[in-house]
Chain A
Amino acid sequence: MIDKIFNTKILIVREEINNFLPLKNKNIDLQDQDNENVGGAVIFEGIVRRDNNIDYLEYEGDTEMILLQGKKILEEAIQQFNLECVILIHRLGIVKVGEMAVWIRSTARHRKEAFAATEFVIDSLKKQLPIWKKECFVDGGSNWVGL
């Protein structure tokens, strides 16, 4: 089980049953870590889209609480969908249009569980993790999302 704040701008919450290699420096090389029970891996990438003249998004969050609440979500996902592993990466700070803000990968014996778990994790993180994003527009204006 590895929980860490990655390079201060990328936050990783990770929950796994089997022994996986620790993350190697900045190369997030994860695919080579699957064990032989894995029959399906589902990856979700959340990407910043061009909306209302957005230039970039600026994320902030309470890392301590994200790690704790994030771990709860992943533990729940593992239990509910019988996963082999699930990894959640969320970037904080500035993320430009076209860049990836969230990365989730669930592995299970069968694809159905992996699909369902991945959706569960992204839905739960939107409801539970203390992360806020500010839309910063091309004209210099900005807006906190969700207020």
Chain B
Amino acid sequence: MNKNKYRYGLVLVGGKSERMGADKGQLAYHYDKSQVTYTFDLLSNFCDRVFVSCREEQAQLAHIKDYPQIRDNSKYLNNNNNLNNNLKKGGPIVGILSAMDELERNDNIDFHQMIIVLACDMPNIDKNILDHLIKNHQQKKSEYLVTAFQNPDKDKEWPEPLCTIYDFSVNKHLLKMLEEGIKCPRKMLTILNEKSLINLIKLPTSSRDALVNINTTEEYQKYKKHKNERKMQVKVRYYAILREKTKVSEENISVNDLLDVENKKISLNNLYTLLDKKYNFSDLISKEKLTVAVNSQYVDFDYELKDADTVIFIPPISGG
């Protein structure tokens, strides 16, 4: 049987969220989209198959039950040679190992294939971050088994284990450490990093707070408040036929009011509609003929705008 070429994604809904008092995956940071849905949709942009990793008793929860699931495998839970009683609760590493195990058994995996693991309590992760992570993973040296961001949190930097790409070949290293009683994924990656098995990369400069993770009700409320109060402003630059129409080469646009209720985000589509109303671009050129770039990179019109983005709507180009 041929090996498949799928790229896998794994949403970790994980922990008991004791400090939060509610299931973290149920929380909605991005308007009213649950964080499980947000994370699943985000990974679906990059992965052929995405699964939600959960514990057996979570499987029927309303915000999880409709997703393809991989449940924690009891063989890892029982694998506690007295050192790690806590492992009965599972934890992210059990989720990751269970997924690798199940996919290897059922999906005929090649060991060089990747699985992108993303915890659902990291609301700042977006397409740009994942794109950056994947590009770096594709260019890594073959001896690296994991591509991880250097997490700048607190005093000490460490390889972030929960917004991370794992090759299936790292499985045996994780298992060995689990057998040795290590169950903290951060510690595991730190050890792998010392063995030069990790492709450790820096966060893009514009996304220093990408790996923020929200654990308590207070943190959640603070985050939401900040997000709601934040004024989102983008810069739009105009060229050629569009510049002649607008009579300005650039302008700042507040986009707070552009929330697309259906898609629960502010996208370039919404921005374009606003500008088209203002300048009647459609009289000159149809939207289908435009491409669009944000921060000098080509993107799709469904790109979700972020504060301080620089947008260029690009009429047909004619360099040379």
Give the B-binding residues of A (Cβ under 8 A).
Answer: 46, 59-62, 64-65, 68-69, 90, 101-102, 122, 125-134, 144-147
Contacts and interface: CB of A to CB of B under 8 A. Distances in A.
Nearest to B249: A60
Contacts, number: 69
Interface stretch (B32-40, B150-158, B166-174, B308-316): B308-316
Interface residues of B, number: 18
Nearest to A65: B296
Given A62-B239, A130-B239, A134-B240, A68 B296 contact: yes
Interface of B: 237, 239-241, 243, 285, 289, 293, 296-297, 312, 314-320
Contacts of A145: 318
A32 B255 CA distance: 52
B309 to A, nearest CB: 13
B70 to A, nearest CB: 37
Contact of A61 (B239, B285, B293): B239
Nearest to A46: B320
Contacts of B293: 62, 65, 130
B27 to A, nearest CB: 36
B317 A129 contact: yes
* Most chain B Cβ neighbours within 10 Å, of A62, A68, A125: A62
8 contacts: A60-B243, A62-B296, A125-B319, A126-B318, A134-B240, A145-B318, A146-B316, A147-B315
* Most chain B Cβ neighbours within 10 Å, of A61, A69, A126, A130: A130
A102 B318 CA distance: 12
Given A61-B239, A130-B293, A134-B240, A102 B320 contact: yes
Nearest first, the 3 closest Cβ-Cβ pairs linking A and B are A131-B319, A132-B240, A146-B316
Contact of B319 (A126, A134, A147): A126
B185 to A, nearest CB: 34
A65 B318 contact: no
A122 B320 contact: yes
A101 B315 CA distance: 20
Contacts of B241: 132, 144, 147
A130 B296 CA distance: 9
Given A144-B240, A144-B241, A64 B296 contact: yes
B99 to A, nearest CB: 34
A130 to B, nearest CB: 6
Contacts of B239: 60-62, 130, 132
Given A60-B239, A126-B319, A147-B289, 12 more contacts: A46-B320, A60-B240, A61-B239, A61-B319, A64-B296, A126-B320, A129-B317, A130-B293, A130-B312, A134-B240, A144-B315, A145-B318
